[in-house]
Amino acid sequence: MNGMAMDPGEPGGEPDHDIVLDARVQESIGRSLKAHYDDLVNAPVPDKFLLLLAQLEAQEKRASAGDASDERR
């Protein structure tokens, strides 16, 4: 018997027999989730993103200087 077979599926997001997990299990999952995500968040950001944004900003400055206007929109 496979637990997945009982999954009612998504349609409409029906209340799914509210299986309540033990608080310790929930807590443990919560901690792992944070550890997973924080590990990724703390990864060094590649320079290419900062370069890209600097380029976009420079482009826009040139364009608006051409328009003799420093308004963004």
Partner 1 sequence: MSAADFKDGLIREIPNLRAFAASLSGSMQLADDLVQDTLLKAWGNSDKFQPGTSLRAWLFTILRNTYYSLYRKRGREVQDSEGTYAERLAVRGNQESHLDLADFRTALAKLPEEQREVLIMVGATGLSYEETAEICGVAIGTIKSRVNRARTKLAELLSIGSLEDLGPDRQSAAAIQRAGPEIVRL
Footprint of partner 1 on this chain (CB under 8 A)? 1, 3-4, 6-7, 10, 12-16, 18-19, 21-22, 24-26, 28-30, 32-43, 45-46, 48-50, 52-53, 56-57, 60-61, 72-73
CB of 44 to partner 1, least distance (A): 9
Residue number with CB closer to partner 1 (19 or 68): 19
Query: Helix, strand, or coil here: 35?
Result: helix
Q: What is the SS3 assignment for 43?
A: coil
Judge whether 64 and 71 are in contact, CB under 8 Å.
yes
> Minimum CB separation from partner 1 for residue 47, in Å?
11
CA atoms of 17 and 4, how far apart (whole Å): 14
